[in-house]
Amino acid sequence: RLLLENAERLVLVCGRREPYLRREGAAGLAVLRGASLVVGLDGCIKAVGQADVIRNQFSEATFERIIDCSGKCVLPGLVDAHTHPVWAGDRVHEFAMKLAGASYMEIHQAGGGIHFTVEHTRKATEDELFTTFQHRLERMLRAGSTLVECKSGYGLNLETELKMLRVIERAKKSMDIGISSTYCGAHAVPKGKTATEATDDIINNHLPKLKELRLSGEIHVNNIDVFCEKGVFDLESTRRILQAGKDIGLQINFHGDELHPMKSAELGAELGARAVSHLEEVSDEGIMAMARAECAAVLLPTTAYMLRLKQPQARKMLEEGVVVALGSDFNPNAYCFSMPMVMHLACVNMKMSMNEALAAATINAAYALGKSDTHGSLEVGKQGDLLIINSSRWEHLIYQFGGHEALINYVIIKGKVVYENERCETMSSY
């Protein structure tokens, strides 16, 4: 058992088992002062409340570990709702091209972008991919992420896509960090194929194989993703692939309306998608459809920042009642591991409040992955995933741009301390 006691502030995020928070709910995050929390041997939260009440309730109990959180804040572990972390061959040279004015699609058409990464990922061994993936997950963990969505999508052929999914499966089994895995074989049209041929290959070959491997227990995939975009997969191809994925039991969670308005949001709402990502070019009708369908919008402030695109309309989405979540979009094009930095960018560039950003990076991101019944808030019965930060105000996690390395004191998953930051003990609370 683990006891965290006397926290200056304990940020529950929600206190009534809400599956997500819309704008009004996020405005008043549930926060307790002078509070304690208990995680049981099963890794789930057993009690949350005022420090003296918890002390009396557990006066006879013995704890494996007690952490004094005086002057500190406890928050739910952060949830990163969109990443591409399994690949080989970095694209640092493309960053220079982008800075010189080349667009995403110009680089893509010149054989760079996704195709460059595909070439390197196909050549890499499973062990090589696993080693770099492991390091990336460890960096995400140190920045406070305790549950991460991880996509395939740099294979574009069955063999390499399965190699990537096996790598993700290995990490699920061997690492503490939580993983929601996504098959993203429709990330780009492979060289030498048309979009229709690629669509047929995915539906006739990739998905039946995935279904077989899921049934045998070899690979547990959670979501299906398609890059619905002009010059990539059009709306009809996207519909066919997503529906086929849904038919084998995968949650729909796809890229849409990023570079061109494609009516992706409307399609997601119609198909019962759990989430649509990007949405820089979403239509007003698409926003309304997503709100009605309770389909989460996974916004990626790093992408618009790096590619100098217009920002997603977070304020309009929030005002219309869309469930807004956040992701880092970690990939060779947007090399960011840190959800605290993503929240900061969401506040500054997308005009979200700090409360809305925290809800979007916890309960709503968990909802986008179909996991908000177990993750995303500090409530009795949920998994004991949490952060302790070395500050008396939780807002420092967002306020300090890039400051998380000296601010996050502990990262805890299922009640186990998986990262302890010694530097915090020698520094006074900010």
- pLDDT, tens digit, 9 for 90 and up, residues 261-313: 999 999 999 999 999 999 999 999 999 999 999 999 999 999 999 988 999 99
Cα atoms in the 13 Å half-sphere on the side-chain side of 66:
12
Q: For residue 329, which of 253, 277, 369, 282 has the smallest C-alpha distance? A: 277
| Amino acid 24: pLDDT | 80
| Amino acid 156: pLDDT | 97
Global pTM? 0.97
9 pairs with which residues across the strands?
A: 33, 73
Q: Given pLDDT bands bounded at 50, 70 and 90, which one contains residue 110?
A: confident
> Distance between CA 359 and CA 241 in Å, rounded?
31
| Amino acid 428: pLDDT | 60
In this predicted structure, the answer to whether residue 430 has a pLDDT above a threshold of 60 is: no
Three-class DSSP category at 306? helix
Q: Given pLDDT bands bounded at 50, 70 and 90, which one contains residue 427?
A: low
Residue 249 CB: number of other CB atoms within 10 A? 12
Beta strand segments in 51-166, E: 65-68, 73-76, 78-80, 145-151
| Amino acid 179: pLDDT | 98
Three-class DSSP category at 317? helix
- Would you identify the CATH topology of the domain 2-77+378-420? Urease, subunit C; domain 1 (2.30.40)
Average pLDDT over residues 231-256: 98
Tokens of 376: 């995303």
| Amino acid 422: pLDDT | 87
One fold for both 2-77+378-420 and 81-369?
Answer: no
Q: What is the mean pLDDT of the chain?
A: 96
Domain 81-369, CATH class in plain words: alpha beta
| Amino acid 400: pLDDT | 95
pLDDT single digits (tens) 334-356: 999 999 999 999 999 999 999 99
CA dist 20 to 360, 366, 370, 385, 411, Å?
A: 9, 8, 10, 17, 23
Average pLDDT over residues 125-147: 98
> Distance between CA 314 and CA 99 in Å, rounded?
26
| Amino acid 426: pLDDT | 66
Q: For residue 315, which of 355, 357, 277, 350 has the smallest C-alpha distance? A: 350
Q: Would you list the domain boundaries of the chain?
A: 2-77+378-420, 81-369
3-state secondary structure 323-351: CEEECCCEECCECCCCHHHHHHHHHHHCC
| Amino acid 60: pLDDT | 95
- Between 90 and 219, residue with greater pLDDT: 219
Residue 33 CB: number of other CB atoms within 10 A? 10
1 pairs with which residues across the strands?
A: none
Average pLDDT over residues 52-70: 96
| Amino acid 45: pLDDT | 98
> Distance between CA 157 and CA 202 in Å, rounded?
9
| Amino acid 307: pLDDT | 87
One-letter amino acid for residue 251 of the chain: Q
- Answer yes or no: are the C-beta atoms of 388 and 8 closer than 8 Å: no
